[in-house]
Chain A
Amino acid sequence: MSLQEVIAVAGTAVAFLALAGVVVRRRMGVCWTFVPYLGVVVVTDLLVLLWPEHFYRQWFWFGSQLVINILRFAVALELTYRTFRAFPSARATARGVLLVVLLITLVIVFGGTGNLEPPEGAPALGPLISRVQPRVVNGAIWLLSAIAGLILWYRLPVHPLHKAILVGYVPYLLIFAVSLNLIESQGWDIRTQVNYLHTSAFVAVLAYWAVAAWRRAEVPARAPEPEPSLEQASG
């Protein structure tokens, strides 16, 4: 078994573990779109592992990434809705900020990709993978960062699974974007090494989500516990 296959098997197993954790701990309702997201990851990984001759193809990778991109944005928007719905002031700001980030993402994806003809030695879908996909991924990073920034600014309470999704996703997507940029700048010859980099990062983030999904629910913190910050602030 090659290293690439070992990473792929580990990724599928951990993604399945995370999905099982969400289902067994009855956390589907915490973020509905996260369930199909993990489901698509598990199914596409399994298809490639079981029938590589049919599914270890660029069209399949690009198609699955398209679905994953859509689900990723859906997860981000659902997180926003669930976190901000009870806070009208923060919600109004979030609406404006997210609209701006989505518009910027659309502009850089559709306006700045240039010629999509594959250069010498690159596969037919090469420019879409190495030029368009990183822009979409960067847009997702900014979107998730904007949500996280607003949560921090307004000091909003977040569900542990939502926090795990945000905190896990941003660094992984960054590594993914850097990997695709490396392919674009250094050429397709380095794609095997680059694949090791971002698939290992994805396995790590899936493991983090699996831990978060399986973690038992904490008893909600109650007021009579240690002094809250407003009381402490008065000395």
Chain B
Amino acid sequence: MWWMIGASVLSCLAILFLFGRRNERAVRRDWQLLLSPRGDKVYRTIEGRVESEMALANLTYDEAFAVREIGSVDEAKHLLDVGYRVIERFSPNMLHLLATMAKFSRMVSAMAPVTPLRPRDFRLTELASLAYLNGLIHRFLVSTAERFRLRVYILGQSFGLATRALLRSTQRIVGGEPEAEREWDQVDAVRQDFDTLTRDSLDTLRVLLTSLAAERRDEVLGQLED
């Protein structure tokens, strides 16, 4: 008999805690936004922000590589450090965006199909392996919503791995460690992989917004205004 009480206590505490943390206004606002034409604008805003941040990082890295070519190693190291700081700020934003996309994917009635990440698009071995894993698990999942969340999860892990790889290489180059030449190639590879991950994330966001656009808007909006 007491096991029933135990199960009830656990469910009661979980419900009170989670409902207490939930912001009803934010939930309604998100639904209204996603079910209105403003949703299209959101995609363009996010795309603009992400692309400009990535462009800033690319500009810094291009400059670092160019300066290194002409022999100003110290300045190249400084620019490399600046580039890493841009990525360091950009990466958590992308992780937050992906987490939000995973949350929003539960609000969709029917998710549009997604494809797994392609291993040949990545230069870092770890990221290519994660893409292979994505392709493998993708086949075992039944619903498009699960496949979507898997892709988002793999993208999140890939951003984490790429950021750590970039930090390692940057520290080695800035610290003047041996074999720094090879680290420059690694930085170039990570930078390209960041580009791919960013593009893939924006494609994923587009799939999410397409799916939300197919929602039965009138009925849901009616319920929101009850």
Within 8 A of A (CB), among B1-32: 1-2, 4-5, 7-9, 11-12, 14-16, 18-19, 22, 24-32
Interface stretch, picked from B96-104, B118-126, B162-170, B172-180, is B96-104
Within 8 A of B (CB), among A173-207: 173-174, 177-178, 181, 184-185
Decide: B24 and A108 in contact? CB cutoff 8 A.
Answer: no
A1 at interface, CB cutoff 8 A? no
Name the CB-closest residue of A to B38: A223
A87-119 near B? 1/0 per residue, CB < 8 Å: 111100000000000000000100000000000
Decide: B29 and A155 in contact? CB cutoff 8 A.
Answer: no
A63 at interface, CB cutoff 8 A? no
A222 to B110, CA, bound (A): 25
Number of interface residues of B (CB under 8 A): 58
A149 at interface, CB cutoff 8 A? yes
B135-169 near A? 1/0 per residue, CB < 8 Å: 00000000001000000000000000000000000
A79 to B173, CA, bound (A): 61
Decide: A170 and B12 in contact? CB cutoff 8 A.
Answer: yes
Q: A222 contacts which chain B residues (CB < 8 A)? A: 32
Number of interface residues of A (CB under 8 A): 52
B107 at interface, CB cutoff 8 A? yes
Decide: A223 and B50 in contact? CB cutoff 8 A.
Answer: no
A235 to B99, CA, bound (A): 13
A37 to B145, CA, bound (A): 39
B25-61 near A? 1/0 per residue, CB < 8 Å: 1111111111010100010011001100100000000
B182 at interface, CB cutoff 8 A? no
Which of B1, B145, B219, B220 has the largest number of chain A CB atoms within 10 A? B1
Decide: A177 and B5 in contact? CB cutoff 8 A.
Answer: yes
Contacting residue for A230 out of B8, B14, B46, B50, CB 8 A = B46
Decide: B12 and A145 in contact? CB cutoff 8 A.
Answer: yes
Q: With A163-B24, A166-B15, A228-B29 in contact, is A233–B96 under 8 Å at CB?
A: yes
B161 smallest CB distance to A (angstroms)? 20
Decide: B28 and A221 in contact? CB cutoff 8 A.
Answer: yes
B67 at interface, CB cutoff 8 A? no
A234 at interface, CB cutoff 8 A? yes
- Please name 17 further chain A to chain B contacts, defined as beta carbons within 8 Å, in addition to the given A89-B108, A148-B15, sorted by A numbering: A86-B219, A86-B220, A89-B109, A138-B5, A142-B8, A148-B19, A157-B27, A170-B15, A171-B16, A174-B5, A181-B5, A220-B225, A223-B38, A228-B42, A230-B104, A233-B46, A234-B49
25 A-B pairs, CB-CB below 8 angstroms?
Answer: A85-B223, A86-B216, A87-B109, A108-B4, A134-B1, A145-B12, A153-B106, A155-B106, A157-B27, A157-B223, A157-B224, A166-B15, A167-B19, A171-B16, A174-B5, A184-B1, A228-B34, A228-B42, A230-B42, A233-B93, A233-B99, A233-B100, A235-B89, A235-B96, A235-B97
A contact set with B: CB distance below 8 Å = 30, 85-90, 108, 134-135, 138, 141-142, 144-145, 148-149, 152-160, 163, 166-167, 170-171, 173-174, 177-178, 181, 184-185, 220-223, 225-226, 228-235
